[in-house]
Structures are given as C-alpha cells and as structure tokens.
Chain A
C-alpha cells in the first residue's frame, strides 16, 4: 500500500512524556513519532508498562504532554482539553455511568454536544442497533454481562461520531471465547463505520488478527511500525521478534555475506541466507527464524545433529524443543509431519534457504 493518497488522522511528533513523583521521574514515552492514517485500524502493541496506554491517553487528552505535538487531521490538539477533542475513548473497564441506563449512557455525548432531541434519540438507537444492544436501552450497566457492557461502551464512544476512536485494551476483561468473537466484530465495525480506530493491546494475537498496521512499543520507545505480516516476518530487532509470536534467536559466524550468504551456527548447522554486506566473514551474527519455518527429519545417531528434548502435542501441531550441542532450537510443525517422533529421537534439522534473517 502506498501512503501518498492517504489522509493523516493522527500525527504524533517527537512526543515525550515524563511522570514526575516526589523522588523519581519516569519516562513513559521517549520521543515517539508515528502517523495514523484515516480509516485505519491501528494498534499500539507492547507489554504492560511500555507506554502504549500513555500514548493513547495523551491523544485523548487525559495526560499533559511533556514535549512534542499531536495533530488530529492537521489540527494541533495538545492544548485542548479532552472535551474539546473529537476523539472518543472505550475504556478498559468500560467506565459506564452506573446511575444512567444504557440509552442515557450512549446518548451522553450527544446530549453534551447539545444535539437536537430527535437526533439524539435517532442516533442513539442507531448506534445501539449497530452493536446489537437496541433491546437493552432501559437496563442499568450492572444488569448487563461483561460482553454487553463492552458493546455499550463501544456504542457510547461511537455515538458522537468521533473522528478517531481510541480503544484501551477493551477486550482484556472478557473471557477467551467472547474475546475472539469480539475481535471480528470490532474489525467489522471499523470497516462499516469507516472511523479510524486506535487500539491498545498487549495481546499480539489480537494485534495480528485485527490491525491494518501495528506499532510495537517497548520501554517508551516505538520499536517498529508496519503491517502485521511485515512485523511478523521481518521484525526490526530481537524485542519485536520475541514479542510477536515465537522466535528462535541463534548465534553463529558469518561464512559468506551477500545474497547467497552462509552462516555457521554455534549449534553446528549451516544456514544459507541473505547476510548484509556490512557483516564481514568471521563476524558473529544473531539470526532469527520462526519455529514453523524449520524442518526436521529422522536420522541415525552418526548423521544427526540434534536430539528431541521436549515433544509437546498441541492437537493440530507439535511444539518440539531440540537440543543441538546444548543449544536449544524451537520447532513448530503440523502434527502429520511429526507423527512418530518422540523424546530422545535423533533428528537432522534443516533450515530452508532464506527462512532466516540477521537481526540486531
């Protein structure tokens, strides 16, 4: 996808956020830069405490920015209070108003905007219908299940038709089945409404399944921004590689660089792969390879280069931990490929060419 004809919904420029307490300061965000396009499902992904929620709250206006600027459709919003920014938030624990019924919760934003009464009624019903909660208008939040509260929170934030919808780990309070179902609903909702979604999560699966683009954040710094496939297939660094999915990070020595490079692993195997030219022969490199890209075949004791130390049955696949010269390699293969493998078997491991890459 090219970025030329895209409209910038949110522009985060050199944003730094420092929390000061009596005897310490915490840098929650360090010079963050990112652009979120209009109509995009954008995810901020990272472990807890990485600064992703801080960034979301800065966009919403709940926190004062220490440095930098944030533009919403080319309008500087850093100095505007939250009630003057046309973004709305879906909170982690929903934060529904307990004294108001579902209808009034959803109508709340529209009423504050002094919309005409008929319009408020119409729009509120429309949004409730969108999240399939139209029959629950008179219920109080505490009379709803978690999933229903989630829908109401979503409807409440969508009702005023914000330019950008901010979602702060909205699915984390739901159980697994519901969470999976809501992923598709959220994605569909985003497509149908055409509103830009900025979604915060620590769940990489959630991020991969829903997002158009993902920003991976760690320790207040943006590690990588890209489409899910890009982030999964070619992570920028070890953190991203490890955080998204499972990764083997193996060290070895560069035998030959370039397009037809060759790396000899400490574990003993040779891997043919692209090695950038700035790495010279004999230099130590770390390579990254996904467990499902590695193949194994049965072998006898003399020819084999590793043994199976743990065979874990996963139903449709098996996760196999190999021991090769006391280095472990993680392999993930469809179950039919590894039917008669068991712990202690001698195997030969094969790295298909260009399945691995050098990583910082």
Chain B
C-alpha cells in the first residue's frame, strides 16, 4: 500500500512535469525577466542598462521637469483610471448581453445547444487583429452602419455619426472581443442547473422575475464571477481595440505598455507599468476570492 502510494505521488509529479516545464519556460520565465527589467534603467539607445533602479516605477507617478525637479504627473494615473472605467463598462455590457445569451443556449435541445456553442467559439478561429479591422469597416465613415442610416434617410450624405475613434468604439470593440469569454462560463453553470429546481420554484409560486432573481441568478453566480474576471482582466490590458478603434487618441493602459516597448523603447518603464497592471489584477483576484468566501460564509450562517 505504502509503496503504491509513493509510486502514485511519483507518477503524479512525473506526469505533471511537462506542464510545469511549459509553464516555467513560457510564463514564469518571461514574467521574471519583466520583473527584472522593471527594476533597471533604460539607456539612451533604447536598450536596458543593467543597473538597479526604481526609475521605471517612479515614472508612473512623477516626472522630472526642466529644472531637474521631481514633480507629480497625473497623466499615467488618468490613463489607468480610464482603462479601469472602460474595462468595467465592457465587463458590465458583456454580462448584460452574455447572460441572456447563455441562458437561451442552455435551454435548447442538446443538438441546438452544441451548434450554438460552436457558433460562439467561431470568432476565436480568426486573428483578433483582423476581426477588429472589420469593425473599422462597420463603424467607420461610409461604413456599414452609416450607409444603412443613409439608406433609410436617417442621415444625410455629408454628415457623419463619428462613431470611430471614440470611447464608444473602443467599448464596442472590447465587448465584441471578449463576449465569448463571458458566455461560456455562464453557460457552463446554467447548463449544470437542474431543470427541476426551476419547476420547484414555479410550483412554489415564483413569478418569472422571482425565478431569475431567486434561483437562476444565485445558482449561476460562479459562472458570472468567472466570466466577469475573464472579460475584465484582458480588457484592462487590451491594446488592439483601443489602438484601432480608438485611434490611439486616448491612451489606455495596454496601449501605453505596448508603446513603451515598441516605439518609445523605454523597456523599464513599460515593464514597470506591466508589473503595476499585474499587481492590480492580483489585487482584484484576491478581493474577489475574499468576496466569494464571505458570500459563502454569509450563506452558511443564515
């Protein structure tokens, strides 16, 4: 028994080894490199100067003026706040659209269900960049939306709806990009739900609204929370939709970091921002875990 048990542990370690190697090389490694870079200085040629420095982090809040005095610079905080608000809005919108969609799919017959879930995952087959370009055609001047407005006489030929390069356009792009990540986890939790619970609730005098509020919503909470995190976190760091649909007019966190690495060639600052974003995400996850636990304790206490 004992030997078998030891063998089992050994087997488990062995069989997980490839996974650990992949995660180690492709996730933890780069992350450590970034953490290291964020603690160095940039040199004038756009490379990294191997010397410990907190200048990358300092730059998030302060900059140096002409007289070499350090002063508070809110510009990046504004970018972070804007990213936060946009990500929250995108998450909320995704939930608003994703929940009914997931519920609808979960109530179909098995065959239809599979087809619909398949359709939800289809966008993943094409590169996000290309799909986001498609939105330019839809939203842009003389695009699909404007020309149909023209067609129905709701808009005259000369004027424009000015949809592109606005926060709205970014929001549409974000919701579009990450909606499936909201639908799938909610669908998974709704799918597991026993139909008889709905029957029981209706039998016990629940109206339609009470059915949603008292049974469907609480029972799909794990899916809602999971989906919200899956949408919120990438939205916070997104740069494709903000760049293409927002025109880079108003910088967001993701675009800012990408900019530091590509054009500005200030790797330490870019890395510091990335670390800052990572910390933000970790804080949110911890907060969410706490919330979950408290919710569970509260439920248990009642």
| B-binding residues in A (CB < 8 A) | 60-62, 81-83, 87-89, 91, 93, 95-99, 101, 104, 108-109, 112-113, 138, 140, 156-157, 160
Contacts and interface: CB of A to CB of B under 8 A. Distances in A.
B199 A93 contact: no
Interface string B201-215: 111111100100011
A91 B196 contact: yes
B75 to A, nearest CB: 46
B12 interface: no
Contacts of B207: 83, 112
A83 B196 contact: no
The prevalent SS among residues of B at the interface is: helix
B219 interface: yes
A95 B300 contact: no
24 contacts: A60-B203, A61-B202, A61-B203, A62-B199, A62-B203, A83-B202, A83-B204, A87-B203, A88-B204, A91-B199, A95-B200, A96-B200, A97-B197, A98-B197, A108-B201, A108-B204, A109-B205, A112-B207, A112-B210, A113-B205, A138-B300, A138-B301, A156-B204, A157-B203
Nearest to B219: A99
A113 B199 CA distance: 16
A138 B298 CA distance: 11
A98 B192 CA distance: 12
Contacts of B30: none
B194 interface: yes
Interface of B: 194, 196-197, 199-207, 210, 214-215, 218-219, 299-302
A140 B300 contact: yes
Given A62-B199, A113-B205, A99 B299 contact: yes
B200 A89 contact: yes
Interface centre among B200, B203, B300, B302 (most CB of A within 10 A): B203
A112 B204 contact: yes
A82 B202 contact: yes
Contact of B199 (A82, A108, A140, A160): A82
A89 B206 CA distance: 14
Contact of B302 (A89, A95, A138, A156): A138
A112 B206 contact: yes
